[in-house]
Amino acid sequence: AVLSLKVTPEVVAKDAVNLSLELNQDKIGQLVVNGVPTIDTRKIHTQVLVHDNET
């Protein structure tokens, strides 16, 4: 399985940062087409607004 996380920060105010999060997971599926396994992909994208002293 391949797992990747991409985090993109964006300063939106003097005391706040918006974090854009992208998470991808690829893994070999159970179905086989012509001897080649399929790849199952799961993705999620979300955003989190974090203010100063909130972590």
Domain count, the chain: 1
Instruction: Give the pLDDT score at 32.
Output: 85
Task: Reply yes or no on whether the pLDDT at 17 is more than 90.
Answer: yes
C-alpha dihedral sign at 22, 23, 26, 29:
negative
**Tens of pLDDT, residues 20-47:** 999 999 999 988 878 888 999 999 999 9
Answer yes or no: are the C-beta atoms of 4 and 21 closer than 8 Å: no
Residue range(s) defining the domain that contains residue 20: 2-51
Instruction: Quote the pTM value.
Output: 0.73
Q: What is the mean pLDDT of the chain?
A: 93
